[in-house]
Structure 1
Amino acid sequence: MKEATASRQEGWKDKPPPESAWRGRQGRTRKTITAEQDRAAGGREERYVRRKDGEYALGSITLKVLPSTRRIRAYLRWSEDGRSPALYVGEVEHLTRVANLEQAWKIAQVRGMVEKRPVPAGSWASSSATRSVMRGNRGRDTAPELRIRSLLHQDGLRYRISARPLPGVRRTADLVFSRARVAVFVDGCFWHGCPDHCRPARTNSDFWRTKIEGNRARDAQTDQILADAGWRAIRIWEHEDPVRAARRVAAAVRGFAVQDDHSVP
């Protein structure tokens, strides 16, 4: 390893390091940049910097080349008081950006420049990593929901998004077909207790069992409230094939439309 590092540094004496060793590719999105930093650090929970006020900010590693030394330097950056401080981490010497980011994060972690953010007092999460994952779960506009919406829209159907089917009743459906009285719910496998994919939590298991059972009971109650009001509730698991799910919804909506047309004198 030392010989390989030495050979790289020798090769950089007469010319700068290749751009692939430090510069990110053009056209990257904020999402891909965040994912790159998360992977290099070993997880998002490993990226937090404690600010002067005691709060935590998400850090990122920036790589720069100094023309005078032809060395790649790594800096830790974060947001604080409207500014973006930069703290020198150290030099990195690999031939790829991925490897250099990983090396920089290891240096920052060993030096105590970053740390895991503690779980706030009273939080239901068993760890900061669990809290980050659960907070990241979308309540709407999930990938399965977007796909189903797209298919239904292409099929000529129109609907309301994230709306309450019944005025005065605090129950929100992902898709609402008011005229057909059809309410569609795209349920996450974990949160709603999918029999095929929901696995018991290993930590804080009593809490999660109670939470999921409560969600399932609320789902059943919601379906009954809608049925009593003359509505049809359609529940779709996030693992279901979106094409088949969209067909099921379309059949329910158009089934009402056929009956409605026949009722016209």
Structure 2
Amino acid sequence: MLLSVDHVTRYRYDTPARSVVQSHRLTPSRFDGQRLLDWEVSVSGGLAGGAFRDGAGDWVQGWSVPGPVSEISVTVRGRLETTDLSGVLRGHREAVPPECYLRSTTPTQADQALADLAAQCVTASGGLETAHRLSAAVADAIVYRPGTTHAHTTAAESLAGGEGVCQDHAHAVLAMARHLGMPARYVSGYLHASEDGTLHEAAHAWAEVWVAGLGWVGFDPANRCCPDERYIRLGSGLDAQDAAPIRGIARGPGVESMDVTVAVQSVQQ
């Protein structure tokens, strides 16, 4: 599938910031399921800094914006060709061993309820079947409902409330998989549309679980599927904050506000 992305993030400061420094994971991952055709990331008034590919295989680009600055726009535009690999991250080069993703973070700490739910998903064959059951259990236990959770909601809190968004689904899968001793990580990216063609939030997140013999396999409880050609993978981390496409800091006493617009479209081959 040939997909185009138009993604704009605007930051506004009620008092001009003295300077802003950001770190971006906004370039699609290199693996067999994605072929980049053209891609550009720009920052209004920004100066591109150092860039590198980290141990997880993600491209990280630094930016700085000298002040005083009242508004910044981060614009991502590009096209890429995607292939359905049934969720398997084939051909992705990275140096970090899977065992590093057994470490829990505050949002992905398993409480007793998550541990009990995880125990119900264990199968005799283990591995891939257990991972599929984890994803299905999260989809059943946490109803997709935007606006019911916030950026700092933990997996335990979203399970207790029974509602959440893709971030909460991913955190819950991570918490349960790690509790069972299965390496798991958070993935940020884009989604074209749901399987039946219904429009979905274009900025999306899902989980990857390490399965012996297959490697990293993606699971998206929000859509009850594994990532296919509709998904664009950007980067990964231990949780949503670690895998955030944009991270940064503004120097100054002002309050920052942000709005995001994302459009992912299928275009003619």
Per the TM superposition, whether the score is higher than 0.5 is no
Q: TM-score normalised by the shorter chain: which range applies?
A: under 0.3
Q: What is the TM-score of this pair, normalised by structure 1?
A: 0.24
Q: Larger radius of gyration, structure 1 or 2?
A: 1
Q: What is the TM-score of this pair, normalised by structure 2?
A: 0.24
